[in-house]
Structure 1
Amino acid sequence: MQVVAESFPDNPVVVVVPPDHPLMSEKDIEPSRLRDAPFILREPGSGTRLAAEKFFEQHGVVLRTRMEFGSNEAVKQSVAGGLGIAVLSASTIRAELASGELAILDVRGFPLERKWYAVYPAGKQLSPIVKAFMEYLFAAPAHGENGPSLPKG
């Protein structure tokens, strides 16, 4: 089957910590400094987890997994509770950043830029609803108009 894959706004991935994390006062943190940090990770096979593992492996760091969850909500709540740090899509933590429940750690090389894709069968006539949804996806910034300000990696 032939498909069309169209990328839409970037999906930056960031290191997430509770706001009182000891490294929050630092900038441009070397990835190796997180070698002993307990990580709260998504399940094996998750795209976010794979991106994090690849990044840290390239920097000689094997992630110390404290917990694994199949949902972003469980990961966020564990991090907010001080159980470890995580690597998540910035688009999933908007509310927690705004409320001060979570913070983004300024780690060198982050944010990781990942793409999201809308994929559909080639030659398929898209319904008006699907067309409207696609227009929305391609017009909407990944973080909304007032999304988080991310450290440059």
Structure 2
Amino acid sequence: MKGVTLRQIRVFVAVAHHLSFSRAADMLSLTPPAVTMQIRELETQIGLPLFDREGRNVSLTITGEYFLVYARKVLATLKDAEDMVAHFKRVETGRLVIGMVSTAQYFVPPLLGRFCQDHPGVEVSLSVGNRQTLVEQLQRNEVDLAVMGRPSREMATRAEPFAVHPHVFVAAPDHPLVRLGHVPAEALAGYNFIVREPGSGTRAVLEEYWKRHGLTPHITMEMSGNETIKQAVMANMGISLLSLHTLGLELSNERIAIIDVEGAPVLRRWHMANLLSKVLSPPAEAFRYFMLEHAEEFLRQEFGHV
């Protein structure tokens, strides 16, 4: 394996993540044939196949699954080395990898745009997923910082709150619960719920609310994205609990209405999180301070009128 290159390892991790040669090529700004060539050369060096290919279906072999663990460690260690060198250089250039739960994509990009205007030499990568995915990325040291709701209890992290995170019950504007005004929590039990997938922070908040009020809801749909849920709610297919920070456009256009219900809004906090064992690079430290200083005011300006 002396001939294995970092480029081959990066390509392998990308293909393993997407289980698609074409999607990995898009992510790495390469052509699919170039990705295929890198994987073939890597398999030649190892002497065993890393992927099973059946038509367009790609899956890891047993060797590939074990090799992926070490490949991720190699890339994480290299990133730590890059961060160390950046500390010694004391310059605001380098790579910043930010992970965020999908709900945060409604406000992190504009804040990141402001940050990049002040730090044009920083190369930024964004990774979006649900809470469970983000926790796994932190554990594997694949992200420098994570923007999330509930801090992780699975590992030693520094989690700093930077803004209030309200969750509200929503329905179509002509829904009966909207017309009734303030209703007790028990009133929700008779209606269909559209919910996020297990592993998401929003789903956890909703389940905590149900448990606190002794409710057994009727779940009719389970979806992995806020946008799809909003479309279903607007179509009057059910009610849902969503982060207020996902609803700016729909509330302004009166496409969705907030249900005035007992115990809502459910207030949580947004957090900036990173592994305690990780030495943050200057760009990561700069973005961390930027979010702690500016994010709460930005969210207040965007949603304070609701």
TM range (shorter): 0.7 to 0.9
More deviation, 13-22/55-64: 55-64
Q: 1:2-151 residue pairs with structure 2 within 5 A?
A: 2-122=156-276, 124-138=278-292, 139-141=294-296, 143-147=299-303, 149=305
User: Given that residues 90 and 143 in structure 1 are in contact (C-alpha distance below 8 angstroms), is that contact kept between their aligned partners in structure 2?
Assistant: no
Distance in 1, matches of 2:223 and 2:249, equals 20
Task: Give the letter aligned to residue 140 of structure 1.
Answer: A
Larger-Rg structure: 2
For residues 57-107 of structure 1, the C-alpha deviation after alignment (integer angstroms, 9 at most, x for no partner) is 222211110100001111111001110000011101111111111111111
1:16·1:88 contact (CA, 8 Å) conserved in 2? yes
**What is the CA distance between 1:146 and its match in structure 2?**
3.5
Residues 97-119 of structure 1 show CA distances to partners (whole Å, capped at 9, x for unaligned) of 11111111111100111122211
Q: Which amino acid aligns with 2:267?
A: E
How large is the RMSD of aligned CA atoms in angstroms? 2.0
Change (3 A) 1:136 1:99: farther
Q: 1 or 2 for the larger relative contact order (CA 8 Å, sep ≥6)?
A: 1
Distance 1:43 1:124, change over 3 A: closer
Counterpart of 2:299 in structure 1: which amino acid? Answer: H
**Percent identical across equivalent pairs?**
37
Shift of 1:40: 0.4
The answer to whether the Cα contact below 8 Å between 1:42 and 1:49 also exists between their aligned partners in 2 is yes
Unaligned runs of 5+ in 2: 1-154
Shift of the 26–128 alpha-carbon distance from structure 1 to 2, 3 Å rule, reads farther
Partner SS, residue 75 of structure 1 = helix
Aligned mates of 1:58, 1:121 — CA distance in 2: 31
**Aligned pair in 2 of structure 1 residues 46, 83: CA closer, same or farther (>3 Å)?**
same
Deviations 1:100-149 (A, max 9, x none): 11111111100111122211133644334323432342222373404154
- Partner-residue secondary structure (3-state), 2:198: coil
Query: In the aligned structure 1, how far is the partner of 2:286 from the partner of 2:211?
Result: 40
The 8 Å contact of residues 94 and 143 in structure 1, kept in 2 or not, is answered as no
Alpha-carbon distance in structure 1 between the residues aligned to 2:288 and 2:174: 39
Please list the CA deviations of residues 34-61 of structure 1 after superposition, one character each: whole Å capped at 9, or x if unmatched: 1111000001222211221221222221
Rounded to whole Å, the distance in 1 between the matches of 2:198 and 2:277 is: 34
On the 8 A contact 1:94/1:148 being kept in 2, the answer is no
Mapped partners of 2:237, 2:216: distance in 1: 18
